[in-house]
Structure 1
């Protein structure tokens, strides 16, 4: 595509993105999200914390409502385990984390707790009090201690979403808030984001009645916002996206295509059946195969993913700092 064609394509994408945000229902808690982000940035932009790196981890899957007063929806399923586990390792590596997560999905520090029901962890005492059951006592103590410490210290900010509209609006707010951090900002986009949606203005207001016969509904493609995240929202941030496929034979080809199309710094390629065991980190100049160690109890592939990312991100920041120094002659 020539320069003129690229310009036309970008203009068309800009129109799609503006139309999406203009027609999306406004966030109900936009003031709270904005205030939480502002406090988080201010708290961590003074004194020795000014040089600390901030990562936005997105986690879980988005929903696409089929009615404005939603009863039915299309769901991009994701347990959120990768995002939650990765958040723990980013915090351990010294990052400040904005955890943008789907309500009801996995949370940081909860991997050792039962998935359902959570109440299995507790029991009544003879004094009509409540205590943690013995099998879960250490896990609950650790989870509460680590979570409360991260929140109290201001190193973890949790922002929930459910729909595709909420997710993209909050992501936009986070990205523009982190723009001033330059290369110290990192985006780890692990959420399963819907490819198609029903525009709000063409959506049924009330519950769709089954007696009306077969359902004929037109889904519109969600504008590809990764490129505008890179070019406008946070142009010097380090950006990582994910590519999941069920056919391993096309996985790396798709990951490389996404790397070039959206100008990502890294695409993490994972195959559905083996995603908890191994992934490939795809960059411009190399592919890094990462596996968890099955012989090591409790070893997770996310631990090794984050170790590589921390190294790559540090190199990226150092290289940009050196370039600025050369350009300014300082």
Structure 2
């Protein structure tokens, strides 16, 4: 049968969800500068064969206006990421720290996240200088030396983001730069990434108004609004119900799932670690396993909101689930070799009051490094055979 195709050129491939998202959501203004800094940092460590970890940290905002006044946020302060970065440095990694602007940073977190004001750690010296309080000087000196060593040896690069769009543009650009490192690259995705966003075409250019007080201005009328119209969004209004027409209804789209793109295209040789936070212990491992099977990456670290400072579970392909837990006994501070395997989550009611004496990241990072070392070995052995 004769062909009925009259076209001499193939039709262009349809745009993917990735293309559509990045084409319609503008990049952050500092992206080119961040990429240049990241490229120099990555090339520096690739030249000496040092393993490098990209740590993402903190929450992403969802702007509701193009000139953003209001946005949706989450509770993440970046504790997991900032703390992990310090232990990665201790474990011999260079750290590229991609963080939410003004969230916690490695080293300074010890003082910026304290219940006391930072100035409470300082006092005036006899000669008018500023010095640390005697009771804090030893720890501050230790932290300062760690920080200066990391910066002086070019082991730590800190880059900020704010919105979900900023984060995804930065993540895509930086992970593509990691390709020369091959399996030496580790991606530790601890940022609390928004699941939903407002597409730019549905976003207000200016601040969303909470009253109709400016309707006459926008419509060109000189008639002043009535008092009742002006106060319809008063939070102290005692009316029993607010009509739906007076409410702010936000229509959100799901953020495309880019983890598969990252695994298959952006950084196909690096080891990728993601996190799964849940509040229901009955579904934690199931959701972690589902994520691992769906995206085909290398490790999911699951944690529960109520016990996240005390335990996590490692879910990895071909390995039994591994619970890593700070032991709950008086000697918990005596050993870091305290990883305990268990089949089920802790009961939050069984936990002692206050913070654990160990940071759970001091157990997580050595365990991640162990898996990364195995990954590099398996990758190199496979390459030698093939």
Query: What TM-score results when the alignment is normalised by the length of structure 1?
Result: 0.90
Q: Does structure 2 conserve the Cα–Cα contact (< 8 Å) formed by 1:123 and 1:133?
A: yes
Q: Does structure 1 conserve the Cα–Cα contact (< 8 Å) formed by 2:57 and 2:99?
A: yes
Structure 2 counterpart of 1:234: 267
Secondary structure of the 1:42 match is helix
Q: CA deviation at 1:115?
A: 5.0
Tell whether 2:324 aligns with 1:290: yes
Structure 2 counterpart of 1:77: 75
Matches within 5 A, 1:1-330: 15-46=16-47, 49-50=48-49, 52-113=50-111, 114-115=114-115, 117-212=117-212, 213-285=246-318, 286-294=320-328, 295-297=331-333, 298-327=357-386
Q: Does structure 1 conserve the Cα–Cα contact (< 8 Å) formed by 2:28 and 2:166?
A: yes
Q: CA deviation at 1:126?
A: 4.7
Q: CA deviation at 1:16?
A: 1.8
Q: Does structure 2 conserve the Cα–Cα contact (< 8 Å) formed by 1:62 and 1:77?
A: no
The C-alpha deviation readout for 1:207-233, integer Å capped at 9, x for no partner, is 110014311221111000000000000
Structure 2 counterpart of 1:7: none
Query: Structure 2 CA distance, aligned partners of 1:97 and 1:164?
Result: 22
The C-alpha deviation readout for 1:31-58, integer Å capped at 9, x for no partner, is 3202211210222222xx22x2111111
Q: Does structure 2 conserve the Cα–Cα contact (< 8 Å) formed by 1:293 and 1:299?
A: no
The C-alpha deviation readout for 1:8-47, integer Å capped at 9, x for no partner, is xxx98x622212111222211123202211210222222x
Q: CA deviation at 1:99?
A: 0.8
Query: Structure 1 CA distance, aligned partners of 2:65 and 2:119?
Result: 33
Name stretches of at least 5 consecutive residues in structure 2 with no aligned partner: 1-12, 213-245, 334-356
Query: Structure 2 CA distance, aligned partners of 1:96 and 1:145?
Result: 17
Query: Structure 2 CA distance, aligned partners of 1:116 and 1:16?
Result: 46
Query: What TM-score results when the alignment is normalised by the length of structure 2?
Result: 0.77
Q: Whose radius of gyration is greater, 1 or 2?
A: 2
Secondary structure of the 2:18 match is helix
Return 252-261 or 107-116, whichever deviates more: 107-116
Query: Structure 2 CA distance, aligned partners of 1:158 and 1:266?
Result: 24
Structure 1 counterpart of 2:353: none
Query: Structure 2 CA distance, aligned partners of 1:296 and 1:151?
Result: 32
Q: Does structure 2 conserve the Cα–Cα contact (< 8 Å) formed by 1:239 and 1:265?
A: yes
The C-alpha deviation readout for 1:242-268, integer Å capped at 9, x for no partner, is 111100001111110000011121101
Query: Structure 2 CA distance, aligned partners of 1:135 and 1:202?
Result: 55
Q: Per residue, is there more helix in 1 or in 2?
A: 1
Query: Structure 2 CA distance, aligned partners of 1:272 and 1:221?
Result: 23
Secondary structure of the 1:61 match is coil
Secondary structure of the 1:136 match is helix
Length, aligned pairs only: 313
Query: Structure 1 CA distance, aligned partners of 2:130 and 2:365?
Result: 37
Q: CA deviation at 1:172?
A: 0.8
Q: CA deviation at 1:145?
A: 1.6
Query: Structure 2 CA distance, aligned partners of 1:112 and 1:151?
Result: 17
Name stretches of at least 5 consecutive residues in structure 1 with no aligned partner: 1-10
Secondary structure of the 2:159 match is strand
